[in-house]
Amino acid sequence: QVQLVESGGGLVQAGGSLRLSCVASGRTFRSNAMGWFRQAPGKEREFVAIISWNGGSTNYADNVKGRFTISRDNAKNTVYLQMNSLKPEDTALYYCALKRVGWVGDPQGPYDYWGQGTQVTVSS
């Protein structure tokens, strides 16, 4: 069993930055790819970014490419999402997820574990 706990969300003005963290506990996650997703009110959950087990490969949604950076520290069982140049449309509940395999592959899944999410609100 793996528990994922996100943190780092908050209220920020447009153009600002936030860094989200996701800590995994229960067992090591260093063999698994990790993804970030988000869900805005009234919308479906959408893929944001994914990183391979060793950090050597990443993939981003087109609407965050160039603004968001995913990274990981396997020694700390933590994956990060650095978000820069935030826009009001980035407002959402952000979730991290542990992928069943170690490579990026299909960023949509499958994922075995999900966190509870951290809220990001970007004001205009």
> What is the residue type of 63?
N
Mean pLDDT (whole number) for 99-116: 93
Q: Can you read off the two tokens belonging to residue 52? A: 């391979």
For residues 4 and 24, the answer to whether their CB atoms sit within 8 Å is yes
For residues 89-96, give the mean pLDDT: 98
Q: For residue range 79-91, what is the model confidence (pLDDT) as tens digits? A: 999 999 999 999 9
pLDDT digits (tens, 9 = 90+) for 3-59: 999 999 999 999 999 999 999 998 778 899 999 999 999 999 999 999 999 999 999
Quickly tell me which residue has 């990790």 as its tokens. 34
Tokens of 45: 């959950």
Question: Residue 123: what pLDDT?
Answer: 97
What's residue 28's pLDDT?
76
Confidence of residue 109 (pLDDT cuts 50, 70, 90): confident
Six token digits for residue 121: 């609100």
pLDDT at position 8, please? 98
Q: What is the pLDDT of residue 77?
A: 94
What's the pLDDT score for residue 69?
A: 98
